[in-house]
Amino acid sequence: MSTPNRSPQSSVPLERIDDCTWRIPKSTRPGMLVDGLIFADDNLIDLVRSDRAADQVANVAHLPGIQTASLAMPDIHWGYGFCIGGVCATDPAAGGVISPGGVGYDINCGVRLLRTNLTLDEARPTIQRLVDQLMRDVPVGVGQGGRYVYSADELRAMMAAGVCWLADRGLATADDVACTEAEGRIPDPEPALVGDRALARGADQCGTVGAGNHFIEVQVVDRVADEAAAAAFGLHAGQICVLIHSGSRGLGYQVCDDALKDLRDTPRKYGIELPDRQLVCAPLESPEGRRYLGAMRAAANYAFCNRQLLAWQVREVFARVFGRSWESLGMTLLYDVAHNIAKVERHAVGGVEKDVCVHRKGATRAFPAGHHDIPDAYRHVGQPVIIPGDMGRASWVLRGGPRSMERSFGTTCHGAGRCLSRTAATKASKGRDIARELERAGVIARSRSRDGLAEEQPAAYKHVDLVVEVVHRAGLSSKVARLRPLGVIKG
C-alpha cells in the first residue's frame, strides 16, 4: 500500500465550533460526504495541526455510507489509513463499508484494570521486587512466546467462545467475563477465516505483552474526582491497582495484513474512489466485507483472552510476592475495554435508530449510564472507561459521558496520544538514562529492549490530564479517578 506524502503540518482548515470542538467542512475537498470533527482545546490544537492526522480525518469522510461526521479524539496522531483516535460509523443499508485501516494492525489492542485491597503504604516496600518478579514471570518483548501454547484447533475454539473458553479451563472467573467489554466475545466471529500463518504466530503468544507501547503497570489511586462513581467502581485514594495494555499480538497483525491483501482490488470492483489507498475497504454486505469482519472478530476475541491470561499471571505474581492468594488480595477486574475495533451497534442517527458499524481506531467505547450493554454493577453509573497515560505521569478512570451517544457514537479517547515519533523520542534520549530519570520520579521501569524506554519516555506523549479534560468537558466521558504509576514492565 502506498503511504501518503506526509508534510509537517495539516493542510485542511479547522473551524472552531466551541471550546473543545473543531470542524473540517465537507466542502474542503471534493468527495467528502460529511464534515470532519476533532475534539481538542487551546492546549492541544497546535499539536493537532503539527502533523497530517487531520488530513486523515478528512480522508475518512469520503468513505461510502459514513454517518454524521468523521470524528477524532483529542489524542489524535498520524496512523495507517485512519488517524489514531479516529472514529466513524457506516450504515450497511446505505452501502456502508468496513475498512481495516479503521481498526488497525493490532486488532483489539486494549486495556484492563485490576483492583487490589492493598494500600500504598503496604505495597511500597515491595514495589521493586514486584516489578522484577513481573519482568521474570510475564513474557514481554518482540516475538516473545509464553507458557500457554495452543494448537490450531484450540485457537479456533478460543476465538469462537472468547473469554468463556478460558473460564471453562479455570483461567477466568465469572466476574472476569462479566466485566470485559462484550463479555469477552465479539458476536459472530469466524475463526475458520483466520489463516494458517496467523494461527502459527498466535500459538504461543496468548498471555504475552509484546512490545511498543504495551505494558503492565502497578499504580496507585492518587486522586478521586467523583466519589460516588469511584465507590461504584471499587476505587479509593491510596489503593494499588494494575493496568494491563496489550492486544492480539502476531495473530491480529497477520489477520490485518492478510485482509489488506485480500481487499486490494475491492474498491475498484465496487466503484469506490478513495483519497488514500490505505483506506482500502469493502461494503459491509459484500463477501469481502463479511470475510474481514468474521476474521477481525475472531482476532478480537483472541485479544480479550490474551489480556485475561496476562491478568491471571499478574495475580499469580502478586500472590507469590505477598505470600497470600490473589483472592485475599482482592485482585478483581474493574473492566476491560477494546481500543482498535469495528462493531455493529444500534445508534440514533438523525433521530432514526439504526444498526451501524462503528470503527474505533485508538478510541474507547464510552456508553452512558443506563445503557443495556453495561454490566449490571455499573449500569447506574456508566461504563468504566480506562485511559492510560505515559509511564511517568498518570492514567485515568472515567465513566461514559452524558453526551457520548449524540456526539461520538458512544466513544471517547483511548490514551494520551503520541507527540513524538518513536524515532524522534529515541533521538531525544541520547545521552540520557530514562530508567534512572523515571526512578528519580518514583517509578521503577524495566524493559526487555534497549530502546523500549527511550521510545516510550514520558516526553513522547501528550499530558494525559489535558486530553482527559477535553473529553470531560465535551461530555464524552466523565472523570472518576486518577492513577499514578509506581512500576512498569515493557517490551
Each residue's pLDDT tens digit, 9-20: 888 999 999 999
Domain membership flag for residue 4 = no
Under 8 Å CB-to-CB from 310, ≥6 apart: which residues?
A: 138, 207, 208, 209, 216, 244, 246
Let me know: does 249 contact 208? Beta carbons within 8 Å: yes
Q: Is residue 427 part of a domain?
A: yes
CA 326 to chain centre: 26
Residue 276 lies in a domain: yes
Distance CA 460, CA 338 (A): 23
Instruction: Say whether 427 sits in a helix, a strand or coil.
Output: helix
**What is the pLDDT, as a whole number, of residue 481?**
98
SS3 call for 62: coil
Q: Residue 168 and residue 155: Cα distance in Å, rounded? A: 14
Cα→Cα distances 409→36, 278, 368, 403, Å: 14, 23, 11, 9
**pLDDT mean values, one per 10 residues, the chain (491 residues):** 50 96 97 98 95 97 98 97 98 98 98 98 97 97 92 98 98 98 98 98 97 96 98 98 98 98 97 97 98 98 98 98 98 98 97 97 98 96 98 97 98 96 91 93 92 91 97 98 98 84
State how many domains the chain has: 1
DSSP code at position 395 = E
Q: What pLDDT, on a 0 to 100 scale, did the predictor assign at position 143?
A: 82
User: Residue holding cell 445508534?
Assistant: 347
Instruction: Spot the catalytic one: 245, 347, 359, 414.
Output: 414
Q: Print the domain residue range for 115.
A: 15-490
- Please give the radius of gyration of the chain, using alpha carbons only, rounded to the nearest integer: 21
Q: Show Cβ contacts of residue 178 under 8 Å, excluding neighbours closer than 6 positions.
A: 375, 376, 377
b/e per residue 376-403 (b: at least 16 CB within 10 A) = eebbebbbbbbbbbbbbbbbbbbbbbee
Count of helix runs (H) and strand runs (E) in the chain: 17, 19
Is 434 inside a domain boundary?
yes
What percent helix, strand, coil does the chain show, rounded to 5? Answer: 35, 25, 40
pTM of the model: 0.96
44, 339, 358 from 70: Cα distances, Å: 19, 17, 11
Q: Could you tell me which residues are beta bridge partners of residue 485?
A: 219
The pLDDT, as a whole number, for residue 451 is: 82
Q: Is residue 414 among the annotated active site residues?
A: yes
Residue 8 has a pLDDT of 65
Instruction: Confirm if 356 and 96 have CB atoms less than 8 A apart.
Output: yes
Q: Could you tell me the CA-to-CA distances from 225 to 39, 130, 229, 236, 399 in Å, in that order?
A: 22, 28, 9, 10, 11
Give Cβ neighbours of residue 154 (< 8 Å, ≥ 6 apart): none
Within-domain flag for 6: no
**E strands, 232-338, where?**
239-246, 282-283, 333-338
Output the CA angle 419-424-430, nearest 5 degrees.
125
CB 40 within 8 A of CB 16: no
How many residues make up the chain in this entry? Answer: 491
Residue 2 placed within a domain: no
CATH number, position 318: 3.90.1860.10
Determine which helix (DSSP H) or strand (DSSP E) holds 382, and give its type and residue range. Answer: none
What pLDDT score was predicted for residue 341?
Answer: 98
- The Cα 322–Cα 319 span in angstroms is 5
Coil, helix or strand for 146? coil
Q: Is residue 104 part of a domain?
A: yes
In this structure, the dihedral spanned by the alpha carbons of residues 216, 220, 225 and 226, taken in order and rounded to 10 degrees, is 80
Assigned domain for 145 exists: yes
